Amino acid sequence: MKASKKPGGLTRRQFMAAGAMAGAAWATGCSSKHGSWESLSDDHAQTLAVLCDEIVPADDFPSASQAGVLIYIDHQLARHYRRFRKTYARGLEQTESISESQFRLHLTQASAEQRLDVVHALVQQNPAFFELVRKHTLEGYYGSPRHGGNRDAVSWRMLGVSEPPIRGRAQYDLTNKARS
């Protein structure tokens, strides 16, 4: 595959569908520069997904992008994190240029080892941006599902935290014993 070829974009709708599937091998199709994301371009969303999935990779529980973390970040970049939109745009461009210069590949086309190399290079070259993505990714993955990033409370189930919490537990509380 030629390094200069831009991969197909990924719309938000496709992304949500992709999240339900295992792995990051999503379908390509839509090529519009601005899909249905609120803040991100489709190209930037693809790059960001790679970063997010290095931060929370898939194992027997989903990766960050599979759990909807991009939806969380995209949504907040239009709201509470508006001030970071330019930081994201520049940082994601920088990530791509690292990939291009090291491997002559778009990040999404790079191998797993190459992706990790790119992320390590990014951590060296722009630690502030990587730290921002790390923070937002973990917030999305471990925070409330209402913001789009912890789909079906998957991280909470992973940690063994019930959702919804058991209500009215006072009536059934087994710890309600005399103090030792």
CA distances (Å), origin 102, targets 3, 45, 67: 11, 21, 30
Site of interaction with another protein (CB under 8 A): 54-57, 59, 61, 76, 79-80, 134, 137-139, 142-144, 146-147, 155-156, 158-162, 165-170, 173, 175-177, 179-180
Helical axes 42-55 vs 112-125, angle rounded to 10°: 90
Rg (CA), the chain: 19
Q: Cα–chain-centroid distance for residue 105? A: 21
Q: Copy the structure tokens of residue 64.
A: 């960050």
Least Cβ distance, residue 111 to another protein (angstroms): 16
Nearest to another protein of 25, 174 (CB atom):
174
Cα separation, 109 vs 122, in Å, equals 17
Nearest to another protein of 37, 130 (CB atom):
130
Nearest to another protein of 5, 179 (CB atom):
179
Nearest to another protein of 14, 72 (CB atom):
72
Least Cβ distance, residue 78 to another protein (angstroms): 13
Least Cβ distance, residue 104 to another protein (angstroms): 25
Cα separation, 128 vs 118, in Å, equals 15
Least Cβ distance, residue 176 to another protein (angstroms): 4
Nearest to another protein of 86, 177 (CB atom):
177
Least Cβ distance, residue 32 to another protein (angstroms): 29
Least Cβ distance, residue 125 to another protein (angstroms): 16
Cα separation, 146 vs 2, in Å, equals 40
Cβ(48)–Cβ(119) below 8 Å:
no
Which amino acid, one-letter code, is at 177?
K
Nearest to another protein of 7, 57 (CB atom):
57
